[in-house]
Amino acid sequence: MKNEAGKVRELYDAAAANYHNLVQKSNYIGPDWLLKIVAPGIQAPNLKVLDLGCGNGINVANLLTLNPTILATGVDISPKMIDAAQQVGIYQTLVCQSLDEGLTFSDDQSFDMVIALGCLEFVNDVDFALTEAARVCKSAGYFYSTFQHFEEGNPQAPRQMRSGEVLHFAYSTAEVLAKLANAGFLVLSHETMIGYTGGAPCPYIFTISQKK
Ligand SMILES: C[S@@+](CC[C@H](N)C(=O)[O-])C[C@H]1O[C@@H](n2cnc3c(N)ncnc32)[C@H](O)[C@@H]1O
């Protein structure tokens, strides 16, 4: 089964106006995790950051507190999320498209850092999305990403769940490590934590990788 782009768009268009409150209410830890672990090098002048599934821009807003010279590009499937990010005024470029379409707007090796938090579970072809992330990331550039966690035999970590009509695709730790390696990343660290607690606690694999 695959996600229809229109259904994902509808889900996040409906959430956009209230996204900030949803993050608070669901105890979503992605933004705080990134802020805490972001590697040395974040302070380099005019660092080029690509924010995949950027939502309302919370992660780039946080990174800008560490380095106000960051030049950010955001990509999101939801026009209303893109509007929300636009209103914050922190992205040089915002692109409204699905990660399943590839990052055709970008040349190879264009970004010092790529982030993909809380979005890869909605992508139909995660291997393609990761290969594209690696293509546009500079050599030795950092890639911060989260994956919904699947664990065989663990009902708290199912292979698939749903938000309404939208599917979430989850992966085992071994699968995530293989996918990142195949895409061209060296995985520096990974840890499994509860990403958010909207209803049932949702386990995520948080990864830090570097482009080979
Ligand atoms: C849970 S939010 C996370 C937003 C932000 N990255 C964060 O950490 O707060 C997921 C975002 O991914 C976007 N998204 C979902 N599927 C996508 C896809 N296939 N391509 C691009 N963006 C997608 C949604 O529109 C939404 O803004």
Beta carbon of 121 within 6 Å of any ligand 1 atom: no
- What is the rounded average pLDDT for all residues in the chain? 96
Nearest atom in ligand 1 to 16's CA: 27
Nearest residue to 32 via CA among 58, 71, 12, 55: 58
Going along the chain from its start, the domains and CATH numbers come out as: 5-211 (3.40.50.150)
Give the pLDDT confidence score for residue 39 in this predicted structure.
75
Residue 94's SS3 state is strand
Helices marked H in 41-119 — which ranges? 58-66, 79-88
Tens of pLDDT, residue by residue over 37-67, are 997 789 999 999 999 999 999 999 999 999 9
Cα 149 to ligand 1 centroid, rounded to whole Å: 17
Other beta carbons within 10 Å of 110: 17
Residue 117's SS3 state is coil
Tens of pLDDT, residue by residue over 142-175, are 999 999 999 999 999 999 999 999 999 999 999 9
Residue with structure tokens 């293989």?
A: 178
Q: Which mutation among 76, 83, 196 tests ligand 1's pocket best, with the greatest number of atoms within 8 A of CB?
A: 76
At 144, give phi and psi (nearest 5°): -105, 120
Give the pLDDT confidence score for residue 35 in this predicted structure.
95
- Rounded Cα distance, 28 and 43, in Å: 25
Nearest residue to 204 via CA among 121, 100, 99: 121
Cα 174 to ligand 1 centroid, rounded to whole Å: 24
Give the pLDDT confidence score for residue 10 in this predicted structure.
98
Nearest atom in ligand 1 to 123's CA: 19
User: For the whole model, what pTM was predicted?
Assistant: 0.98
> Looking at 4-13, 78-87, 196-205, which range is the least confident one?
196-205
**Can you give the C-alpha Rg of the chain in angstroms?**
16
**pLDDT at 80 exceeding the cut of 80:** yes
In the numeric block, which tokens belong to residue 118?
């809380």
Mean pLDDT of 31-40: 91
Give the pLDDT confidence score for residue 198 in this predicted structure.
74
Nearest residue to 80 via CA among 49, 116, 54, 58: 54
